[in-house]
A = this chain, B = another copy of it.
Amino acid sequence: MLEKTTRMNYLYDFYQSLLTPKQRSYMSLYYLDDFSLGEIAEEYEVSRQAVYDNIKRTEAMLEEYEEKLLLFHKFQERNKLIANMKEMLKEGSPSAEALNVAVAELEKLD
């Protein structure tokens, strides 16, 4: 569950601009502010089932966007390369060749 929460937080971060205001409200209460379905239902004066359905649909939409655009995936790949470069740069005299390889990999990701 923690893994799913982390993933949803990232997907929400990348694709929230594509959601409706209501989807954004429910998702951020549920995933960022840790509200229960019941608490959200009370807040919006709707049934718990309605909140649940909306959140499930939104989760599916976020996964669909990720399948199409791969923003989270590319972010992770880019992060690995950047961490790598930082590591190289910490070691005093970085190898220009190794850095060039990392830069080329970064370029390919876009």
- Interface residues of chain A, those whose CB is within 8 Å of chain B, are 15, 17-18, 65, 68-69, 71, 75, 78-79, 82, 85-86, 89, 92-94, 96, 99-100, 103, 106-107, 110
- Write the nearest CB–CB distance from A70 to chain B, whole angstroms: 9
Which secondary structure characterizes the binding site on chain A? helix
Choose from B15, B89, B96 the contact partner of A103 (Cβ within 8 Å).
B89
Residues of the B chain whose Cβ atoms lie less than 8 Å from the Cβ of A75: 110
Residues of the B chain whose Cβ atoms lie less than 8 Å from the Cβ of A65: 18
Complex alpha-carbon distance, A22 and B56, angstroms: 29
Contact status B17-A110, CB under 8 Å: no
Residues of the B chain whose Cβ atoms lie less than 8 Å from the Cβ of A100: 86, 89
